[in-house]
Amino acid sequence: MTERGWARPITDASWADLDPREFERFRRLVGAAGSRADAGLAGLPDRELAAALGVAGQAASEQGTAEPALLPEALLLFGRPAAIRWFLPWHEAAMQVLRADEAVVNDFFHWPLFRLAEELLARFRARNTEQVVRFELVRVQVPAFSELAFRELITNALTHRDYDVPGAVHVRWADDRIEITNPVGPAAGPSPGTVLVGPPRPRNPLLVDAFRRAGIAHRTGHGIARAVADQLRHGLAAPRFDHPAQQMAVATLPAAPADLAFARYVAGRERLGQPLGRAELQLVTALRHGQRLRTAQAAALLATDRSQARAHLVGLLQAGLVQAGLVQVSGDSAGRTWHLTDQVHRDLRECAAHVRAQTTGRYPAAPVPTAQTAPSGWAIPGGGPALPHRQRAADGG
């Protein structure tokens, strides 16, 4: 497989290797996603839908009739599990729940990608918890892990993995983290965490495009940046990215306790029409923890150059005409450092006092399951995806 995906069809694969239920799943996804999806695809017959996604073409048979020529992506998106295992033996995914060094859940799947994404998200929702704090009369839900971040990292792992490299996509849920690993080729390029800006460079563009047109991923790309931003806006730790082995990429969501005061502060700004973007969230979070930053340190944090980092810092210095800036600068050009203003520190202390009053008074911020309160409509409007029946998993249903 090249950087641009597979170029040739699987000559032995036939239309019978695709599952009509997976095409229907795609249509449900499109319907549930609304404006995020390509609505015109939902009304197409199966073969026209596959052709519109670029995963099937037309090839003349010996009898002179037209038969679809299937690319490997067609099997990955719509294939029957038995066909996937036969033609694409390296495709596998696992969900593991770890307690100390023991796996209390250890399930492996050879399912097509849309079904697999639904299953992994459903299991995430069933295990994730949240706390509730209040900003004035608004309830602010603070999850243990951002669902948006998890969805973007799963999408990234499934669509950017190298399907010519042995290994499985692993989701490991441990006490201190959720770790998502996926196989990559020796020329996989930089770690996703170092590519927060610039145009996206998908390894499997047809898979990425299918996920975007289904409404699972955003059309603009930059899912990693959104994952970082949504973790930070909830007062959670930013995802970490690493290449611990030559053919493995790892994304980690740390299970650090949420900073409820900061989550309330960010929610308050959003209610006032003054939201913080991804870069601003990264900078303010770093300044809260490290007190001061040099421009070069800000550039390294944002994975950009000094001029762009300085532009973001100046934007925080001049936050608006009505409200004072969030940062101020000290020192001359050679030793210039940036730090939060006294007003921001006062606002954060006020948010912390409100959170303490809620957690010790009549509005407790106790963890509660999010399975019922998570956004519905991932696949099935009004309920979200349901876990498949166990008896159907064996027969590929």
**Digit-coded pLDDT (tens) for 302-329:** 988 889 988 988 888 876 434 568 988 8
- pLDDT of the residue at 112: 97
- Which comes out higher in pLDDT, residue 53 or 376? 53
Cα separation, 190 vs 249, whole angstroms: 10
Those residues with Cβ within 8 angstroms of residue 175's Cβ, 6 or more apart along the chain or in another chain: 98, 99, 100, 255
Q: Is residue 170 within 8 Å of 180, Cβ to Cβ?
A: yes
Kindly tell me the burial class for residue 55, based on how many C-beta atoms sit within 10 Å of its own C-beta (0-12, 13-18, 19 or more). buried
Cα separation, 341 vs 331, whole angstroms: 15
Q: How many residues does the chain have?
A: 397
Residue 50 identity (one-letter amino acid): A
Q: Comparing C-alpha atoms, which of 303, 186, 286 is closest to residue 241?
A: 303
* Mean pLDDT lowest among 239-253, 312-326, 344-358, 378-392: 378-392
Q: Comparing C-alpha atoms, which of 59, 78, 54, 39 is closest to residue 4?
A: 54
H helix or E strand, kind and range, residue 267: helix 260-271
Average pLDDT of 44-67? 78
- pLDDT of the residue at 197: 57
Q: Is residue 54 within 8 Å of 209, Cβ to Cβ?
A: yes
Q: Comparing C-alpha atoms, which of 89, 82, 54, 80 is closest to residue 68?
A: 54
Those residues with Cβ within 8 angstroms of residue 216's Cβ, 6 or more apart along the chain or in another chain: 29, 33, 114, 117, 151, 155
Q: Given pLDDT bands bounded at 50, 70 and 90, which one contains residue 220? A: low
**Arithmetic mean of pLDDT over the chain:** 82
Q: What is the pLDDT of residues 169-206, one digit of tens each?
A: 999 999 999 999 998 876 555 555 555 655 556 778 99
pTM given for the model = 0.84
Q: What is the pLDDT of residues 360-393, one digit of tens each?
A: 764 444 455 554 443 444 443 333 444 443 333 3
Rg, Å, the chain Cα set: 23
**CB-based burial, 256-276: b 16+ in 10 Å, e otherwise:** eebbbbbbbbbbbbeeeeeeb
Q: Is residue 26 within 8 Å of 50, Cβ to Cβ?
A: no
Starting at the edge strand found earlier in the chain, the sheet holding 102-109 runs: 102-109, 93-99, 169-174, 177-183, 248-254, 240-245
- How many CB atoms lie under 10 A from the CB of residue 50? 25
- pLDDT of the residue at 195: 54
How would you classify the pairing of strands 169-174 and 177-183?
A: antiparallel
Q: Comparing C-alpha atoms, which of 389, 283, 369 is closest to residue 329?
A: 283
% of the chain with per-residue pLDDT over 70: 79
Token pair for 165? 């490299």
Q: What is the pLDDT of residues 275-294, one digit of tens each?
A: 999 999 999 999 988 778 88
- Strands (E) in 213-336, as ranges, are 240-245, 248-254, 292-293, 327-330
Kindly tell me the burial class for residue 332, based on how many C-beta atoms sit within 10 Å of its own C-beta (0-12, 13-18, 19 or more). exposed
Average pLDDT of 113-118? 95
Instruction: Give the angle 173-141-156 at the CA atoms, nearest 5°.
Output: 45
Q: Comparing C-alpha atoms, which of 124, 138, 155, 133 is closest to residue 370?
A: 124
**Dihedral angle computed from the Cα positions of residues 193, 277, 201 and 207, in that order, rounded to the nearest 10 degrees:** 100
Q: Given pLDDT bands bounded at 50, 70 and 90, which one contains residue 12? A: confident
Instruction: Give the angle 55-27-119 at the CA atoms, nearest 5°.
Output: 90
Instruction: Give the angle 284-287-293 at the CA atoms, nearest 5°.
Output: 120
